[in-house]
Amino acid sequence: MKVLKFGGTSVGSVENMQNVKNIINDGEKKVVVLSAMSGTTNHLVAIAQNIADKKTDEALDSINNLHETYFQTVDKLLFNETLNKDVKAYVSDVFNFLIACTYKEFSKVLENSILAQGELLSTYMFNSYLKQEGVKSALLPALNFMRINAENEPDMESIKAGFKAVLNEAEPSDIYITQGFICLDVNDDISNLQRGGSDYTATIIGAAIKAEEVQIWTDIDGMHNNDPRYVDNTKPISNLSFEEAAELAYFGAKILHPQTVTPVRDDNIPVRLKNTMKPEAYGTLINSDHSEVGVKAMAAKDNITAIKIKSARMLNAHGFLKKVFEVFEQYQTSIDMITTSEVAVSLTIDNDANLENIIAELEKIAHIEVDKNQSIICLVGHCIVNHPETHKLFQILQDVKIRMISYGGSNNNISLLVDTKDKINTLQKLNDYLFELVV
Ligand code: ADP
Ligand code: ASP
Ligand code: MG
């Protein structure tokens, strides 16, 4: 069985939902994971923030506006009167729940329950639309099987058993529709797999059922060799290894949730990226093939903090780095990049929740400098470190100030740290040097 995930844009309009119907209606048995309609989760985040800020009137205004937009979509999508009425009743229940939330004390659990409504709405609407179109489908409630453990990792054993049970209870069908993103936590409270998490839902289900393939359908024809939001002339990459895809996703390629390939990599379940609006385009196939070498793609990750730790005592002193790393371990903060010289070590973190404590500890052993608003630019490809063309990347040094370079940590990744204000320029120049100009 295959697992097909459709993102926000793919279910974001009546036209696109028609495309989705045509893609999935091929007589093959499949699981279909849907995101919320595009924009909805952002609206829900804003509503939750209004409730947290006690801006009840603003929250109620947003809720009423979104309710109205959903009614308009239902009217466009569902001409069958019974289904139209039934879905409007469901939509109204959701919006009444949101209104009730504005009178409640704000909490993380309340916020997560609010955020979950987008996927509940899109799946209910789409399932009804398939009914209207005579396509047999069944809804599998994600909250009955998708679960994370105390470390916020998917609880695979419980998910496997839960999915099997939910599938057995469902009406036999070729198309099983479920919600991406949402799950239960160890306390049985509603939680989620973080923003963009529907990709992760798809590969978690893929691993749980040992799927033949997981497909991520979105609004672009696969993983491009650079970030199309910032750079001109980017091109789709037809094949990526699991390792390459994982690095690009972790280092900011928004097309994939950072953890997407983790669940399927060990079982070698291929992940295919496809464009809902252009199904004939090849897209990107992610599998264990490593045959192509050289720089394939780059991505950038923002909100990075660089910490420089300088100490005259570091010279010839063993045990200094151990002390430094222990501080980060104590505050459960992972390090992304690291470079050293005789008197200093520079490193980066992407989670500065404990920054003040970390600095206070480090200041006991060294002089500390902190730079915020940095971006990591990550170049990815098999054996790029030894590839003859890779040297072209160093032409970037004549154009942009590079704060750190990590070269050789692995054969497949080179990372540069730049000020975020230089990010777009760096990405464009690297694109020119590595993919466009013949030097
Ligand atoms: P969905 O809602 O379908 O999950 P996303 O917005 O999460 O879609 O991801 C698709 C978007 O990712 C694209 O529209 C594109 O702007 C962005 N993106 C960023 N980097 C890349 C890349 N390297 N290749 C393709 N798309 C990328
Ligand atoms: N709807 C969620 C979000 O916007 C999950 C997803 O789209 O993958 O983050
Ligand atoms: Mg996404």
Q: How far apart are CA 116 and CA 359, in angstroms?
A: 37
Last residue of a domain, one of 190, 219, 248: 219
Ranges in the chain, pLDDT < 70: 312, 314-316, 437-439
- Residue 395: which CATH number? 3.30.2130.10
* Complete DSSP assignment for 387-439: -GGGGGGGGGGGTS--SEEEEEEETTEEEEEEEGGGHHHHHHHHHIIIII---
Q: Which of 195, 219, 243 is the last residue of a domain?
A: 219
Query: How crowded is residue 313: how many other Cβ atoms within 10 Å of its Cβ?
Result: 10
Residues with CB under 6 A from ligand 1: 7-10, 35, 196, 218-220, 223-224, 227-229, 253-255, 299
> Quick one: pLDDT at residue 439?
45
Q: How far apart are CA 41 and CA 55, in angstroms?
A: 19
Contact criterion met (CB below 8 Å) for 126 and 141: no
Any domain includes 240: no
Total count of domains within the chain: 2
Q: Which two tokens stand for residue 420?
A: 């975020």
Burial 348-367 (b: 16+ CB within 10 A, else e): bbbebebbeebbebbeeebe
Express each pLDDT in 105-126 by its tens digit. 999 999 999 999 999 999 999 9
Structure confidence by residue, pLDDT tens digits, 306-338: 999 998 676 567 788 889 999 999 999 999 999
Shared-domain flag, residues 121 and 213: yes
Domain annotation covers residue 332 = yes
For 302, the enclosing helix (H) or strand (E) is strand 297-310
DSSP assigned state of 67: H
Characterize the bridge pairing of strands 413-419 and 271-275.
unpaired
Residue 31 lies in a domain: yes
pLDDT of residue 396: 87
Atom of ligand 1 nearest to the CA of 226: 23
For residue 116, the domain's CATH number is 3.40.1160.10
Does the residue 342 lie in any domain?
A: yes
Ligand nearest 34 Cα, by number? Answer: 2
Runs of H (alpha helix) within 25-155 = 40-52, 56-77, 81-101, 108-115, 117-132
- Global pTM reads 0.94
Domain extent, residue 38, equals 2-219
Best residue among 255, 295, 435 to mutate for probing ligand 1's pocket (most ligand atoms within 8 Å of CB) is 255
